[in-house]
Structure 1
Amino acid sequence: MKLFNILFPMIISIRAAIASLIAEASTQNLEFKTCVVNPGGNSSIDDAPAIIDAFTQCGHNGKILFLNETYHVNTVLNTTGLKNCEVDLRGTLLILQSSAWVFGGDNINFQGHGYGTLNGSGQAWYTFIHGKSNYPGRPHAITIANTTNSVFEGIKFVQSQMWTMTVIHSKNVLLQDIYVNNAGNDGTTSSNTDGANTIFSDHITFKRWDITNGDDSIAFKANSTNIRVLDSTFHNGLGIAFGSIGQYKGEFNTIENIRVKNITCYNTLHGAYVKTWTGQQVGYPPNGGGGGLGFMKDILLSDFTLNNLRGIPFSISQCTTFSGVAGACNTSLFEIEDLTFENVAGTIGTNPIASLQCSAAAPCKNITLQNIDLALRNGTAASGYNCDAVFGSIGFNCTGFTCGTSSATGSC
């Protein structure tokens, strides 16, 4: 009887475990399936419904396969709420200028193999807006929303209509081996074609990005925390951006624990720059605003190689505007502290090395600029650190004052 009392619970436990394993295997075999998206074959056929249907059928415990062909996406794609989903993009999604893709879920593996492409057909927008930045109605190529524990790899983006990628309300996402080329045809300016932006997102990693564009290479906006940008190359844009932030009156936002390492820039305006709105609201978003609160701290930018930089390697402007009209440049209450820019080499077009226009109402604290080895195009050593309201300069001495004027790009 004692032996039975010992063995009986063990037998029940083993049987339950075996039943659980059988049920799990059965569920996996039954639920995991592949949906192949077949293109319509010409621009008059909108492939968006077929794409959405594939995600509806296989977006949970399944795989969506795009063939090595061209898909014409003529209407907005919304494929959110995915779970345990693989996306195999082997062809090109040709997205007309009036459409975009909202994408998200948990445990997603999105593979582009280095050639799977989202083509935004952005030239029509570039021509239409004539260089104007925040023109209403321009879509983002892809918005990664409410996404967790996911990987996006080997995807190409060509001529995005506006921002290429927006990562919002997301956490634990890896984005690596991504190629972006938003250059306009015949020298057309492709303004506001950011490579990527983070908003209300945490633990996001960008690795091995190659970006050619006409605006921020990668930007960290409101409530971006624990972000990494590694081993990436930027062409022609504005460089790494913090902000803009502080645009919405009374709102409290943060940018914290950012690490950017091993970056190569070619003909960008900056290596990195910070842009906050003033403490006075002037107009309304998207081109007006101001009066936002919050802080930015614990920032490390290291190992930058700058090639033929167009402007100032590192800039802080707390007088951002996109309308040409700004509040007083010394009124921002958004706090900037513990920011380091180090191990920087290369060639730049003009002095100074840094322009730090901080707000007198909330001075910048503990700014470190060290191990800077830069030369002008004529071979002479770069020099100069212009500062307003900087408390705690580490590794450099302020040599003058900034121009103190409003800016959208961190330049005078």
Structure 2
Amino acid sequence: MQTLKSTSRARILLAIFSASALAALNKTGSTCTVTPLATGADDTPQILDAFKQCGRDGKVVLTEGLFNIGQVMRTTDLNNCDIEIHGTLKWSSDIQYWLRNSISVTYAGRSTAWQLGGVNISLRGFGKALFDGNGQLWYDQNRNQGNQNGRPISLTLCMKGNSSNVHVSNVVCHESGAMCIGSIGSNPSQADIVENVYYDNVTAYHSSNAAWIKTYSGQGRVRNVTFANMRFDNVNQPIYITPCIYGSSGCDSSRLSIEDIRWVNITGTSRYNVAAGIHCSAAAPCKNLSMENVNITPMKGGTAKWLCSNIQNQQSSGIPCTESCPANWPQQLDGDR
């Protein structure tokens, strides 16, 4: 009898513990609110459960606090979903797990620890959301090695192939590539399409580029992209377009089209004396590029250079072109030109 009582108590305690753990996910109507597990345990299961329950016609809210992420997350079947992140997501230090299990993406053999996607979704961070990838461990792992698979990359919001109807706003970037389209067109057998993208209210500090488009000479198009209300500080080459990124071929034979691109209300400083390097393919000149109220000055003073080639509407574009832009113009500069 005593054994039965002890077993019953154990079951009761287990039930109480389980209920306490599950209480970190609270569903009210179509809103799932997730709070971090106080034990420091892996928060991934409850986050994935929240997306499962509220990822379609609902809202997922991650409250303030530290969420420990110990597993890959694939949340790609979302529909009409609002996502709010008020806290920090910290990926575990198990480098070998991430190398073995990260999710492959279509772009250039890359992989990711969180694949997020769907139709009509919004992601808001309210100036508080933080993604902590345990970067120092990766830096130490890849010391004295360049361009390693799985290496940490500073946050850059770049639209890859087949991205459309995207609105990005209220972003501050430090030492990154900031806002870009691409790379696309790397697979000659697959058309990459990016259209209807709006970047708004973005600040870029000490970045490589800030409002730019990079493609290979494959198939596809970039259409209807706006970079608006942006501020640059010490950016290597703020505005950049190339049809042959990373020295690839097809600088003037590429037929991947770039059209209806706008830069509006942009101010800031370039690290060197080139504000923009725009080289469009001679076989498919850029169409309907425009600039309005754009003012970029070199940090060291003087007048900025604006390099332009193969812009179909150059005279009416508002781009203050000063000289031609050579093919294979570099993405990053190492000094004044």
State whether TM-score is above 0.5: yes
Structure 1 match to 2:170: 231
Structure 1 match to 2:74: 102
Rate the CA distance shift 1:312–1:301 in 2: closer, same or farther, 3 A.
same
Tell whether 2:256 aligns with 1:317. Answer: no
Rate the CA distance shift 1:245–1:216 in 2: closer, same or farther, 3 A.
farther
Tell whether 2:42 aligns with 1:65. Answer: no
Whole-angstrom distance in 1 between the partners of 2:60 and 2:320: 51
1:89 equivalent among 62, 65, 75: 62
Is the 1:263–1:303 Cα contact (8 Å) retained in structure 2? yes
Per mean C-alpha deviation after superposition, the further-off stretch among 100-109 and 241-250 is 100-109
Per mean C-alpha deviation after superposition, the further-off stretch among 264-273 and 148-157 is 148-157
Letter paired with 1:335: S
Tell whether 2:256 aligns with 1:357. Answer: no
Letter paired with 1:89: L
Whole-angstrom distance in 1 between the partners of 2:19 and 2:240: 48
Structure 2 match to 1:118: 89
Structure 2 match to 1:167: none
Per mean C-alpha deviation after superposition, the further-off stretch among 393-402 and 239-248 is 393-402
Structure 1 match to 2:12: none
Letter paired with 2:62: L
Letter paired with 2:132: V
1:381 equivalent among 277, 302, 305: 302
Rate the CA distance shift 1:298–1:328 in 2: closer, same or farther, 3 A.
closer
Is the 1:71–1:92 Cα contact (8 Å) retained in structure 2? no
Whole-angstrom distance in 1 between the partners of 2:248 and 2:323: 23
Structure 2 match to 1:262: 201
Is the 2:173–2:203 Cα contact (8 Å) retained in structure 1? yes
Whole-angstrom distance in 1 between the partners of 2:239 and 2:95: 33
Gaps of 5+ in 2: 1-17, 100-104
Aligned pair count reads: 296
Whole-angstrom distance in 2 between the partners of 1:318 and 1:386: 15
Letter paired with 1:368: S
Whole-angstrom distance in 2 between the partners of 1:326 and 1:333: 14
Q: 1:203-218 residue pairs with structure 2 within 5 A?
A: 214-215=153-154, 217-218=156-157
Distance apart, 1:60 and its partner CA: 9.6
Distance apart, 1:137 and its partner CA: 8.8
Tell whether 2:228 aligns with 1:302. Answer: yes
Is the 2:309–2:326 Cα contact (8 Å) retained in structure 1? no
Whole-angstrom distance in 2 between the partners of 1:363 and 1:334: 9
Rate the CA distance shift 1:396–1:149 in 2: closer, same or farther, 3 A.
closer
Is the 1:184–1:190 Cα contact (8 Å) retained in structure 2? no
Distance apart, 1:356 and its partner CA: 0.7
Whole-angstrom distance in 2 between the partners of 1:277 and 1:329: 8
Whole-angstrom distance in 2 between the partners of 1:88 and 1:215: 25
Distance apart, 1:268 and its partner CA: 0.9
Distance apart, 1:397 and its partner CA: 4.2
Letter paired with 1:105: L
Whole-angstrom distance in 2 between the partners of 1:136 and 1:336: 21
Aligned-CA RMSD value? 4.3
- SS of the residue 1:38 aligns to: helix
- SS of the residue 1:355 aligns to: strand
1:157 equivalent among 131, 149, 152: 131
Rate the CA distance shift 1:300–1:160 in 2: closer, same or farther, 3 A.
farther
Whole-angstrom distance in 2 between the partners of 1:137 and 1:335: 24
Distance apart, 1:360 and its partner CA: 1.3
Letter paired with 2:311: V
Whole-angstrom distance in 2 between the partners of 1:396 and 1:85: 43
Distance apart, 1:262 and its partner CA: 2.1
Structure 1 match to 2:102: none
Gaps of 5+ in 1: 1-34, 40-49, 129-133, 162-180, 195-212, 279-290
Distance apart, 1:72 and its partner CA: 2.8
Letter paired with 2:78: G
Structure 1 match to 2:114: 142
- SS of the residue 1:297 aligns to: strand
Structure 2 match to 1:326: 248
Is the 1:59–1:84 Cα contact (8 Å) retained in structure 2? no
Whole-angstrom distance in 1 between the partners of 2:157 and 2:117: 17
1:38 equivalent among 21, 25, 44: 21
Whole-angstrom distance in 2 between the partners of 1:93 and 1:138: 25
- SS of the residue 1:247 aligns to: coil
Whole-angstrom distance in 2 between the partners of 1:106 and 1:364: 34
Distance apart, 1:275 and its partner CA: 0.5
Structure 2 match to 1:273: 212
Is the 2:279–2:329 Cα contact (8 Å) retained in structure 1? no
Is the 1:85–1:107 Cα contact (8 Å) retained in structure 2? yes
Whole-angstrom distance in 1 between the partners of 2:31 and 2:243: 47
Whole-angstrom distance in 2 between the partners of 1:105 and 1:328: 38
Distance apart, 1:138 and its partner CA: 6.9
Percent of aligned pairs with the same residue?
21
Rate the CA distance shift 1:138–1:247 in 2: closer, same or farther, 3 A.
closer
- Specify which structure has the bigger relative contact order, considering alpha-carbon pairs within 8 angstroms and separated by 6 or more residues: 2
Rate the CA distance shift 1:301–1:160 in 2: closer, same or farther, 3 A.
farther
